[in-house]
């Protein structure tokens, strides 16, 4: 079975990205797109990326306490990461969609401090971190890209702090929905109709709200004709209305 990027670069349909090679379904764009790597450099990167069998729903990609070895890229499906504190309280720290990278919080330690599980059947690329480090020494673009990737993660987390610390429950949920919507849209799927891969409980946990509150707000948004909600299927009916809530 070909490696994901090798597969991508060998597919014949054209790719709009500036590295000028075809990249198939573009699911690795989080790695490919901003890199501006030469073709032979992409091939070098590809050589260290590993893909295993898909993960089933609720299956762990890694567990807190186990040795840190790799970071991961979502190819399909969805993943949540979460930490459990001393009192056993779980905190969801992120949702990751196709093309996104997770596991960077493990870099600081020899062992994982958080866990990652698949929210639905998901295929995931594993990128061994020591090999990535080595390769980064000879590919300045790759090094820079990874610094930027981590910086973006920091910015996201800081935005989340602001969202939770300063915004109402309505605003928090609206912001999350728009975020997921636009992340789906970037993969050129319809942005306004999408499936929420996570439970109401996960959403509430992530946003610092209770399940009941999340549920009530979904109900209210539907009454206000902002959304059409059918279990996990979401359709945004009034994009501007939501954006006003989310303060864009």
Judged by the rule CB under 7 A, the positions of this chain that interact with DNA are 168-170, 199-201, 208-216, 218-219, 229, 231-232
By rule CB under 8 A, what count of residues binds a copy of itself? 44
| Smallest distance, DNA to C-beta of residue 59, A | 14
| Smallest distance, DNA to C-beta of residue 194, A | 15
Cα–Cα distance for residue pair 27/239, rounded to 1 Å: 26
Stretch of residues binding a copy of itself (CB under 8 A), selected from 9-17, 36-44, 88-96, 183-191 = 88-96
Q: Is 147 in the site for a copy of itself (CB under 8 A)?
A: yes
CA atoms within 13 A on the CB side of 114: 20
Cα–Cα distance for residue pair 150/139, rounded to 1 Å: 17
Pick 158 or 190: Cβ nearer a copy of itself: 158
Q: For a copy of itself, which residue of 67, 157, 212, 244 counts as binding (CB under 8 A)?
A: 157
Cα–Cα distance for residue pair 195/125, rounded to 1 Å: 22
| Smallest distance, a copy of itself to C-beta of residue 84, A | 10
Pick 93 or 123: Cβ nearer a copy of itself: 93
Q: Is 40 in the site for a copy of itself (CB under 8 A)?
A: no
Alpha-helical segments (H) within 49-139:
129-138
Residue 12: which of DNA, a copy of itself, none does it interact with, CB under 5 to 8 A by kind? none
Cα–Cα distance for residue pair 90/204, rounded to 1 Å: 11
Pick 80 or 200: Cβ nearer DNA: 200
The percent of the chain in helix, strand and coil, each rounded to the nearest 5, is 45, 20, 35
| Smallest distance, DNA to C-beta of residue 167, A | 7
Cα–Cα distance for residue pair 198/93, rounded to 1 Å: 13
Cα–Cα distance for residue pair 22/61, rounded to 1 Å: 29
């Amino acid at each position: 079975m070909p490696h994901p990027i090798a597969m991508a670069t060998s597919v014949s349909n054209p790719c709009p990205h500036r590295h000028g090679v075809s990249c198939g379904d573009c699911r690795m764009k989080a790695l490919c797109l901003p890199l501006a790597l030469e073709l032979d450099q992409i091939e070098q990167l590809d050589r260290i990326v590993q893909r295993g069998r898909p993960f089933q729903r609720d299956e762990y990609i890694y567990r807190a306490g186990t040795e840190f070895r790799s970071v991961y890229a979502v190819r399909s499906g969805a993943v949540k990461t979460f930490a459990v504190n001393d009192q056993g309280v779980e905190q969801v720290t992120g949702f990751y969609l196709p093309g996104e990278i997770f596991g960077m919080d493990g870099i600081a330690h020899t062992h994982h401090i958080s866990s990652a599980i698949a929210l639905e059947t998901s295929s995931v690329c594993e990128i061994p971190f020591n090999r990535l480090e080595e390769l980064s020494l000879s590919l300045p673009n790759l090094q820079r890209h990874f610094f930027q990737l981590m910086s973006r993660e920091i910015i996201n987390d800081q935005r989340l702090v602001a969202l939770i610390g300063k915004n109402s429950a309505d605003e928090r949920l609206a912001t999350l929905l728009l975020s997921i919507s636009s992340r789906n849209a970037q993969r050129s799927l319809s942005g306004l109709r999408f499936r929420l891969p996570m439970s109401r409980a996960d959403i509430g946990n992530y946003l610092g709200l209770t399940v009941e509150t999340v549920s009530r707000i979904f109900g209210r948004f539907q009454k206000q004709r902002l959304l059409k909600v059918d279990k996990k299927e979401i359709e945004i009916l009034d994009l501007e209305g939501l954006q006003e809530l989310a303060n864009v």
